[in-house]
């Protein structure tokens, strides 16, 4: 694998790489606790410069033909493919995903998403339609502020910026300060692909400074944010003064409902894999396993055995399935939730608070399975964002659905049943934006987003392009 590239660490505004002011933010490798780079701590003035550059570029970019945008997106996809291994190594270095996961998912899924958006445009995405005597147009919103998280640093950038460009918008990007190096590499991809100066601008910094400035800026016409529900509320509040559109992809506490006729072995194996994907640092992770009460002990035994196969260690080593958490702060947060589960009386079936068998350096936590979890426990209600699974017993199907819908979230979920139609019936009752039946695979063309405090708006597929458009009706 290519070594992580840490030379592009500055802002990129109007096509120019800028060092920014004297204040910087260290980028730490969570596997070693070593500082591997530093990025500038951006200011409101940096955001203003980026917004003005994006506003200038919007005039010409919004008028480009669909054919030209398709060609550019395909070049971006090609460049992402050429830099896949470099991207993967950088993602692993700055946020700790096992390298195999970084190659196969973190750096590969964005290529598929970019290609799918190009194909949708090429296939005749409807920017206009006739309704009676009205011509209804989908037009670009304008300048879009994209604020992205650390857990899927490239995918979340691509899932926002590529459809925003496809719709004719320009962008100001603030990546997470925890994983900012990937964003610098992505800007190099855009440059190589021929994206004009000012169309996409990058400002590094913290949420309270740069994120807030983007959300409140009168020259930003829309904010697309992915992150915690707490931070999403702050973005919404900051944006309210200018009544701009706010699209939010927030937290989740997804339920995996295992029905009494399911193949238990398959359901548990797939359930554990999803709960622990990316070290559990995934908003869609099925972190609540809902099981028939009379099968609870059997399923817990299966879950504990499956969890034991998830080797924790150096993310660059073959065989590692769970790397470090993204930071020491995240490690401490997860361990705090594990301690809370013990305090509340949940049974530790695997893992727990003991970290003695983990590497001495780095932000590591043990994969954990809690049994006998009640729906009202903190570990069953709050998003932990680590490899922690809660197993909750239910009496009947109605109670299973009630428990599944009992949190403030509604992002994802799953149903396992020996009868696909029964599984579908339960899936339809779950108040969540996405449901998998018997491990149905992720579809990058399907809408992605949540109900309730998991956010609003949708990403991916045609829905992701529509999200970045305004509707205009012309009567004639």
> What is the distance between the alpha carbons of residues 424 and 221, in angstroms, rounded to a whole number?
39
Instruction: Check if the beta carbon of residue 98 is closer than 8 Å to that of residue 106.
Output: no
b/e per residue, 86-122, with b = 16+ CB within 10 A?
bbbbbbbbbbbbbbbbbbebbbbbbbebbbbbbebbe
Nearest CA to 175 out of 166, 164, 167, 186 is that of 186
> What is the distance between the alpha carbons of residues 52 and 352, in angstroms, rounded to a whole number?
50
- From 86, 146, 177, 283, active-site residue: 283
Nearest CA to 47 out of 244, 201, 184, 198 is that of 201
**SS3 assignment, position 143:** strand
Tally of CA atoms within 13 A in the half-sphere of 121 that contains its CB: 24
Residue 384, C-beta contacts closer than 8 angstroms, at least 6 positions apart: 280, 287, 333, 334, 337
* φ, ψ at 146 (rounded to 5°): -110, 120
Residue 413, C-beta contacts closer than 8 angstroms, at least 6 positions apart: 254, 255, 256, 257, 286, 404, 427, 430, 432, 434, 435, 436
- Residue 366, Ramachandran bin (φ over 0: left; ψ between -120 and 50: alpha; else beta): beta
**The pair of three-digit structure tokens given for residue 88, joined into one six-digit string:** 């993967």
Catalytic residue list contains 146: no
Q: Where are the alpha helices (DSSP H) in 62-102?
A: 66-82, 84-95, 99-101
Catalytic residue list contains 283: yes
The C-alpha angle with vertex 272 and arms to 102 and 182, in degrees rounded to 5, equals 20
Q: Where are the beta strands (DSSP E) in 220-315?
A: 222-226, 245-249, 255-258, 288-292
- From 79, 86, 94, 249, active-site residue: 249
Q: How far is CA 417 from the centre of its chain?
A: 28
What burial class does residue 459 get, using C-beta atoms within 10 Å of its C-beta: 0-12 exposed, 13-18 middle, 19+ buried?
A: buried
**DSSP-derived secondary structure letter, 152:** S
Active site residues: 249, 283
């Amino acid at each position: 694998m290519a070594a992580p590239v840490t030379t592009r660490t500055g802002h990129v505004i109007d096509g120019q790489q800028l060092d920014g002011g004297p204040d910087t933010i260290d980028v730490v490798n969570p596997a070693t606790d070593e500082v591997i780079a530093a990025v500038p701590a951006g200011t409101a003035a940096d955001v203003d410069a980026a917004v003005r550059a994006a506003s200038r570029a919007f005039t010409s970019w919004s008028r480009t033909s669909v054919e030209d945008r398709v060609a550019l997106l395909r070049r971006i996809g090609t460049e992402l493919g050429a830099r896949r291994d470099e991207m993967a190594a950088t993602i692993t270095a700055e946020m700790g995903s096992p390298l195999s996961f970084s190659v196969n998912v973190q750096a590969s899924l964005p290529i598929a998403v970019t290609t799918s958006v190009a194909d949708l445009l090429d296939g005749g995405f409807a920017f206009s339609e006739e309704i009676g005597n009205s011509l209804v147009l989908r037009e670009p919103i304008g300048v879009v502020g994209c604020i992205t998280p650390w857990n899927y640093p490239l995918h979340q950038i691509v899932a926002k910026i590529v459809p925003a460009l496809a719709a004719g918008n320009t962008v100001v990007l603030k990546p997470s300060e925890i994983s900012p190096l990937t964003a610098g590499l992505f800007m190099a991809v855009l440059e190589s692909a021929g994206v004009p100066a000012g169309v996409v601008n990058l400002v590094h910094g913290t949420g309270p400074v740069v994120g807030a400035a983007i959300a409140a800026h009168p020259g930003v016409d829309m904010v697309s944010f992915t992150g915690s529900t707490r931070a999403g509320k702050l973005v919404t509040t900051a944006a309210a003064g200018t009544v701009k559109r706010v699209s939010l992809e927030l937290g989740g506490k997804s339920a995996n409902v295992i029905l009494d006729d399911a193949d238990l072995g398959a359901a548990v194996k797939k359930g554990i894999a999803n709960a622990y994907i990316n070290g559990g640092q995934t908003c869609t992770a099925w972190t609540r396993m809902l099981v028939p009460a009379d099968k609870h002990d059997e399923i817990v035994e299966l879950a504990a055995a499956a969890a034991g196969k998830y080797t924790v260690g150096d993310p660059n080593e073959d065989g590692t399935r769970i790397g470090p958490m993204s930071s020491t702060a995240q490690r401490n947060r997860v361990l705090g939730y594990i301690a809370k589960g013990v305090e509340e009386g949940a049974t530790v079936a695997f893992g727990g608070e003991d970290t003695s068998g983990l590497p001495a350096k780095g932000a590591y936590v043990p994969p954990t399975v809690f049994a006998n979890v009640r729906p009202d426990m903190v570990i069953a209600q709050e998003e932990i964002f680590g490899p922690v699974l809660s197993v909750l017993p239910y009496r009947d199907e109605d109670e299973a659905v009630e428990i599944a819908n009992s949190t403030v979230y509604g992002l994802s979920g799953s149903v396992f049943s020996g009868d696909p139609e029964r599984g579908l019936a339960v899936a339809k009752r779950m108040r969540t934006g996405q449901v998998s039946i018997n491990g149905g695979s992720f579809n990058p063309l399907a809408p992605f987003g949540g109900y309730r405090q998991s956010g609003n708006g949708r990403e991916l597929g045609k829905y992701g392009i529509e999200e970045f458009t305004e509707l205009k009706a012309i009567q004639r």
